[in-house]
């Protein structure tokens, strides 16, 4: 991909008139309270799927109801090789099972550090979600893991590598191929937005007025503030029918694959990065690339059985989460430490939402799901646990020096397998 400084695509901001209820989430209300995840290992790993099977009328429906969790183990890289690190993550032959020391976890898929898993990963994990968009199902792909574990590479949301083989470029290609085959029967409108959440503030990565610099202060912010001066902050809102929108963010209307790829590239360049002890180019923000697909299927005016025009709308969130490492390990202080705390707040809130959704007993009792505890979970509210299909790709380094963080990632991902979504079609 080449750097482009201009986005030649028509963009709009969200129509505020559609918005009924305003989000009253205030990051200052919530103390930076760390709620630990209640993590179970292997014995409960299959629990969610078995329960889903009992509840589901068919194998197909079971597929729909489960959150899929895959693990991607990248190869040893640069420093790890220089330090002669040992590979400490073993994949059990013929099974989607990972072993780390005495711990063993089973996932839906495991992609090892040898070979090129990208197209298999796309076909197995993301392609069904792209197909589901055409039936009106929202979907979310989450790349989770410590800084340097390969999240950006796997998603293809970086400027450097993973460009063509990453999951986002592959999703875009599959989407346009499908549209090409359906365009004679259905009218499509596509929009993309690309935002990041840094220190509990939402930043528009497609703002045509923003600079492409990766320095967080380059956009006129002070003390790491990332919004453009004079521009109202982007707000997460909820419509009366539970659809989450981003008021004030740029939505680009795109008609071609090239236009969509330009948006991805422009936003990736704009993404804030910073240095910590973990990785010089570590990303401290959650980056969310969202593709919205609107379909109008024309009814047959001459048929008495025709129901008229049918409208479907669904969105695909492709999320490159911030590094999951503990704040203390970044060795940061001052502003950057605060960022670390906020990042953990988002990921912990995500973990607590996952935990609440995965707890069958609590769910039946209508227990509160704490979506409002962070901007990240609030934004994903209509795409986690409700009208959505979700895939988490847990990215891990195989190096022994990262074993502690890798174990945390595997535990977190294991917990996510217990979520049961109930897909509802948006009409
Ligand atoms: P993260 O986004 O989790 O911080 P990156 O995606 O930036 O991690 O990856 C860290 C480094 O590892 C990069 O230099 C990247 O090129 C390399 N890398 C990640 N995944 C792979 C892979 N599957 N194969 C080869 N190199 C990889
Ligand atoms: Mg990254």
pLDDT in tens, 41-95: 332 222 222 222 222 223 333 344 457 899 999 999 988 989 989 999 999 988 9
Instruction: Give yes or no for residue 346 having a pLDDT over 50.
Output: yes
31 pLDDT band (50/70/90 cuts)?
A: very low
Backbone angles phi, psi at 137, to 5 degrees: -90, 125
Residue spans of beta strands (DSSP E) within 163-249: 186-198, 201-204, 235-238, 244-247
Pairing of strands 388-396, 138-144: parallel
pLDDT at 38: 33
Helix, strand, coil shares of the chain, percent, nearest 5, are 35, 25, 45
- For 139-192, the pLDDT digits (tens) are 999 999 999 999 999 998 765 554 567 999 999 999 999 999 999 989 999 999
As a whole number of angstroms, the distance between CA 397 and CA 275 comes to: 19
pLDDT, greater one: 232 or 194: 194
pLDDT at 366: 74
CB atoms within 10 A of CB 188: 16
Tokens standing for 207?
């703002």
Tokens standing for 69?
């969790």
> Is 140 in contact with 384 (CB distance < 8 Å)?
yes
Q: If you ran DSSP here, which 8-state letter would residue 164 be given?
A: T
As a whole number of angstroms, the distance between CA 244 and CA 5 comes to: 30
The reply to whether ligand 1 has any atom less than 6 angstroms from the CB of 96 is no
- Edge-first strand listing for the sheet containing 21-22: 21-22, 235-238, 244-247
Q: If you ran DSSP here, which 8-state letter would residue 55 be given?
A: H
Atom of ligand 1 nearest to the CA of 74: 23
Residue carrying structure tokens 């989770």: 144
Atom of ligand 1 nearest to the CA of 155: 6
Residue carrying structure tokens 């059990």: 92
- For 104-149, the pLDDT digits (tens) are 999 999 998 665 557 899 999 999 999 999 999 999 999 999 999 9
Atom of ligand 1 nearest to the CA of 147: 4
- For 200-217, the pLDDT digits (tens) are 889 999 988 765 443 333
Task: Give pTM, 2 decimals.
Answer: 0.80
Q: How far is the CA of 127 from the centre of ligand 2 (A)?
A: 22
Q: If you ran DSSP here, which 8-state letter would residue 391 be given?
A: E
> Is 86 in contact with 32 (CB distance < 8 Å)?
no
The reply to whether ligand 1 has any atom less than 6 angstroms from the CB of 153 is yes
> Is 238 in contact with 381 (CB distance < 8 Å)?
yes
Backbone angles phi, psi at 98, to 5 degrees: -120, 140
348 pLDDT band (50/70/90 cuts)?
A: confident
Q: How far is the CA of 295 from the centre of ligand 2 (A)?
A: 33
Residue 19: partners with Cβ closer than 8 Å, 6 or more residues away:
237, 238, 239, 245, 247
As a whole number of angstroms, the distance between CA 239 and CA 250 comes to: 18
CB atoms within 10 A of CB 350: 26
Judged by DSSP in three states, 335 sits in helix
As a whole number of angstroms, the distance between CA 221 and CA 231 comes to: 12
Judged by DSSP in three states, 82 sits in helix
Quote the mean pLDDT of the chain: 75
The reply to whether ligand 1 has any atom less than 6 angstroms from the CB of 402 is no
Helix (H) or strand (E) holding 179: helix 167-182
As a whole number of angstroms, the distance between CA 324 and CA 326 comes to: 6
335 pLDDT band (50/70/90 cuts)?
A: low
Q: How far is CA 77 from the centre of its chain?
A: 24
| Ligand 1 pocket mutation pick from 89, 110, 150, 165 by most atoms within 8 angstroms of CB | 150
> Is 108 in contact with 70 (CB distance < 8 Å)?
yes
Q: How far is the CA of 150 from the centre of ligand 1 (A)?
A: 4
Residue carrying structure tokens 């201009």: 6
Tokens standing for 192?
């993309």
Confirm whether the ipTM is greater than 0.95. yes
pLDDT at 310: 87
> Is 325 in contact with 147 (CB distance < 8 Å)?
yes
- For 272-327, the pLDDT digits (tens) are 544 444 443 346 789 999 999 999 987 776 777 667 788 999 999 999 999 998 75
As a whole number of angstroms, the distance between CA 330 and CA 279 comes to: 9
> Is 413 in contact with 392 (CB distance < 8 Å)?
yes
Q: Which CA distances in Å does 218 have to 199, 228, 232, 308, 366?
A: 16, 10, 18, 51, 45
Q: Which residues surround ligand 2, an ion (CB under 5 A)?
A: 151-152, 283
């Amino acid at each position: 991909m080449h750097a482009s400084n201009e986005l030649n695509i028509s963009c709009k901001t969200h129509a505020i008139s559609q918005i009924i209820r305003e989000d009253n989430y205030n990051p200052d209300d919530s103390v930076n309270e760390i709620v630990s995840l209640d993590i179970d290992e292997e014995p409960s790993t299959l629990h969610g799927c078995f329960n889903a099977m009992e509840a589901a009328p068919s194998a197909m429906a079971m597929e729909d109801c489960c959150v899929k969790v895959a693990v991607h183990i990248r190869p040893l890289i640069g420093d790890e090789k220089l330090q002669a690190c040992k590979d400490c993550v073993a994949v059990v032959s013929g099974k989607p099972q990972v072993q780390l020391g005495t711990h063993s976890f089973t996932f839906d898929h495991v992609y090892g550090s040898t070979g090129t898993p990208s197209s298999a990963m796309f076909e197995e994990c993301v392609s069904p979600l792209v197909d589901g968009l055409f039936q009106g199902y929202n979907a979310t792909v989450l790349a989770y893991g410590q800084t340097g574990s390969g999240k950006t590479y796997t998603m293809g949301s970086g400027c450097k590598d993973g460009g063509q083989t990453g999951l986002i470029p592959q999703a875009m290609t599959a989407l346009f191929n499908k549209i090409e085959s359906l365009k004679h029967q259905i009218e499509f409108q596509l929009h993309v937005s690309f935002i990041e959440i840094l220190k509990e503030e939402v930043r528009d990565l497609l703002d045509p007025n923003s600079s492409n610099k990766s320095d967080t202060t380059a956009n006129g912010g002070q003390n790491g503030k990332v919004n453009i001066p004079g521009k109202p902050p982007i707000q997460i809102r909820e419509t009366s029918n539970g659809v989450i929108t981003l008021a004030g963010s740029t939505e680009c209307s795109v008609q071609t694959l090239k236009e969509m790829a330009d948006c991805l590239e422009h936003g990736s360049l704009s993404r804030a990065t910073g240095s910590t002890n973990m990785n010089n180019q570590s990303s401290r923000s959650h980056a969310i690339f969202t593709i919205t697909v609107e379909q109008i299927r024309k009814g047959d005016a001459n048929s008495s059985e025709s129901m008229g025009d049918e409208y479907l709308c669904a969105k695909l969130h492709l999320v490159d989460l911030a590094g999951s490492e503990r704040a203390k390990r970044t060795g940061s202080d001052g502003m950057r430490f605060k960022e670390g705390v906020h990042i953990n707040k988002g990921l912990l809130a995500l973990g607590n939402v996952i935990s609440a959704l995965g707890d069958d007993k609590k769910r039946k009792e209508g227990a509160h799901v704490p979506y409002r505890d962070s901007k990240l979970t609030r934004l994903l509210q209509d795409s986690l646990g409700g009208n959505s299909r979700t895939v988490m790709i847990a990215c891990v380094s195989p190096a022994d020096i990262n074993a502690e963080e890798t174990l945390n990632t595997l535990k977190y991902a294991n917990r996510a397998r217990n979520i049961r979504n109930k897909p509802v079609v948006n009409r």
